[in-house]
Structure 1
Amino acid sequence: MSPLRSIALVLALTTGLSALPAHGEVERSNVSGDPTYTLEAPPAYAMIGDLIVARPFLIAATLAGTAAFVISLPFTALGGNVKEAGQSLVVAPGREAFVRCLGCTTSGYRQD
């Protein structure tokens, strides 16, 4: 087989495989059957990546956000948005670092 035909065959197979739908993530609902509370089933590589990469960055972001919140506190108090600043700088990264299950993409449960 000529090199040109080999390259064309590889490109055709790659394009065909990339067009197939991916069914990778599985979500199981809880015992109550309420779709608001769902439990993800992350694969092992997602858990390892989350433990080694994401969690240290999220903890560092929580610490940096806490420092930024304390520094900006006089200005946010004058502006009247202390609660919003605290939520976005401290609570949101802290929730993702400490409440989210290992390897999951959402933290805790949805509150509507």
Structure 2
Amino acid sequence: MPAFKSVLAATLVIALSQPFASFAASDDYDILAPTSGRDPTAAEMVADTLVARPLYAVATVAGTAIFLVSLPFSAIGGNIEKSANELMIGPAQGLLTRCLGCIEPLGDGNFERSAE
């Protein structure tokens, strides 16, 4: 049974790493501006689905919890809007307003983070 588990684990690692092999081998990938002027690749979509979206979901839930706990202190300090932007709106924007595989949010959306 331990041999079966190791073979299964190796098979899963190989199967899940295949989309990233084409991502790393692509010549047209620009690390400074990966989505400028082109559609996302399949590997970018897979990475976004398996890594980025779950992380944004966790960050949104955790940020909301932290915001609620720190709300009295933010109210005293007068920075409720800034803390809401950083802890809740930013991760929610990354989760909900981007196309699959894109880095930048779609359009302007209703979420706006202050430049400060």
State how 1:57-68 maps to structure 2 within 5 Å.
Answer: 57-68=55-66
Q: Which of 70, 89, 94 pairs up with 1:72?
A: 70
Please state which structure has a larger fraction of its residues in helix: 2
Gaps of 5+ in 1: 1-21, 29-39
Query: TM-score, normalised on structure 1?
Result: 0.64
Question: In the alignment, which of 89, 100, 103 is matched to residue 102 of structure 1?
Answer: 100
Distance 1:43 1:101, change over 3 A: same
**In the alignment, structure 1 residue 23 sits paired with structure 2 residue 21:** no
Aligned residues: 80
Q: Percent identity?
A: 38
* SS of match in other structure, 1:61: helix
Note closer, same or farther for the CA distance 1:100–1:26 as it changes in structure 2 (3 Å cut).
Answer: closer
Q: Structure 1 residue 86 and structure 2 residue 80: aligned? A: no
Q: Which residue of 2 aligns with 1:31?
A: none
Structure 1 outlier segments of 4+, above 4 Å: none
The higher radius of gyration belongs to 1
Larger relative strand fraction = 1
Please state whether the residue corresponding to 1:88 is helix, strand or coil: helix
In the TM superposition, residue 26 of structure 1 has moved relative to its aligned partner by 6.0
Quote how far apart the aligned CAs of 1:68 are: 0.2
**Aligned counterpart, 1:3:** none
| Structure 2 length-normalised TM | 0.62
Structure 2 gap segments, 5+ residues each: 1-26
Q: CA RMSD in A?
A: 2.1
- The counterpart of 2:43, out of the listed 37, 42, 45, is 45
